[in-house]
Amino acid sequence: MQEWLDTTIPEIFWINKFFFVHGFLTGAKQNYAREFKIPIDTMTIDFTVIKDADNVEVPQHGVLILGMNMEGFRWDHKAFICGESDPKVLFTSAPMVWFKPVKVVDKVTQGIYPCPLYLTLERKGVLATTGHSTNFVIYVSLPTDRPKSHWIKRGAAMICALSD
């Protein structure tokens, strides 16, 4: 954090290192809203999975995120969509995802699985005084060729912090 203050913000953020993820994501939306003079309540976050994380170009708006784990499914790097878990594999690392601020009307809603992102494996929380859940973060839109119900039945979710 001190390095950010002394130099510049990182190009890639590890979401599992933040204490208050909601505030961080709100800040990303606020930066965009202020620059383009858009009311923040007309905005949301959309998501793009990054194909080549080693050679990613840092976006002008939004944030590149790492540090998420997938439970109940995996990322299929060949088909570039959500895929079935491999046998006896409980968790896999999620790919890098660009969390990009967009107007609500511009958010992609077709061909995606709105995957819940939780801070912990508990998958439950309480409503904090900030109005946010103490565990649920956001629904991350991931490309899929299956209906949403397919992934819900498998309990597909992303988790920031695993127990081990």
| Residue type at 97 in one-letter notation | V
| Euclidean distance between CA atoms 137 and 25, whole angstroms | 9
pLDDT of residue 132: 77
User: Hunting for tokens 């979710």 — which residue is that?
Assistant: 157
Dihedral angle sign, alpha carbons of residues 121, 19, 74, 114? positive
Domains of the chain and CATH, by start: 2-161 (3.10.490.20)
Which is more confident, 70 or 5? 70
Average pLDDT, the chain: 93
Centroid of chain to Cα 85: 19
Contact 147, 66 (CB under 8 A): no
CB 140 within 8 A of CB 75: no
| pTM to 2 decimal places | 0.91
Tell me what the mean pLDDT of segment 100-114 comes to.
Answer: 96
**pLDDT digit string (tens) for 110-160?**
999 999 999 999 888 887 777 778 899 999 999 999 999 999 999 999 999
